[in-house]
Structure 1
Amino acid sequence: MKLEKIAVATPLGIAKINGDADGVRSLIFTDKKSPVTKVIPEVLQECVTQLEEYFNGTRTEFTVKINPQGTEFQRKTWKSLQAISYGKTMSYLEQSKVLNKPKAIRAVANANGKNLLAIIIPCHRVIGTDGSLTGYAGGLWRKKWLLEHESENKQQSLF
């Protein structure tokens, strides 16, 4: 099965997406200059469509077929992330309790950091117990942007 790789423009910069008929394997943001893919392979078209809908504010949940690559613990951790509703957050401590691993906060945070399906598996919705924005592989500014994008109380511009 051929692994397709594309680059698409988003409000957060270039998103590199790869996957095949088994599902999307990764969606990561890059700060490197990269040409945008002009023709989207059919196996990745639904992912691009849903990503556009998310950024346009018309999609709050992803249904695209995914194929995350990781250990059993990582996949369980990522599955728990998918239960965090759009516009909601959870602390790393709360997530570790959901996984019945209350003392494994660092392991859970580490697994979140290995998530290669940004936005689709919403690790940006996990924050510090004190409400701080901690850890995000795509950069804290992107995490802040995503949380504000999903907030019911969007910051309105005066001009």
Structure 2
Amino acid sequence: MSRIDNSREFVPVRIAVLTVSDTRQIEDDRSGQTLVERIEGAGHVIAARQIVPDERDTIAERLRAWCADPNVDVIISTGGTGLTGRDVSVEAHRDVYEKEIEAFATVFTLVSMEKIGTSAVQSRATGGVALGTYLFALPGSPGACRDAWDEILKWQFDYRHRPCNFVEIFPRLDEHQRRK
């Protein structure tokens, strides 16, 4: 059973928010803003925020740059996870991943089923790791961003969360690159 262990200190995480859209600007980016508010509300730091068009290479380039930035621990993108021709966020994320977190998609689908029923099958949310950085691609709706953060990511990025969390394994994410 999940729980918060109050004997452990909270550890703020530096999170970059990427909105994938051909039409959005910061002023009308409701999904990105939803993430920013929840991330900051949980005590974490917004390391960066940007909007890029639905172009696979452009998305992957931004993800790689943030993965290489020592001031970014996590990247959460919103938009481009659907089934249409312009939805290429998942492909861009997978171009960058060293390892995919397959269970994230499964858990997100379970959470979504509770909220939107079988319409959850239209999402291709994904998660992975690259260069010691966590990456997550979420759908472009504020509701999906709320659900992913409130039901999954908020807990996994809280060092106090038991029985385990993503924060406590940060030091080991890139251990394979340090081996000789």
What is the TM-score of this pair, normalised by structure 1? 0.29
Larger proportion of helix: 2
Query: Which has the higher relative contact order, 1 or 2, with Cα contacts under 8 A spaced 6 or more apart?
Result: 2
What is the TM-score of this pair, normalised by structure 2? 0.27
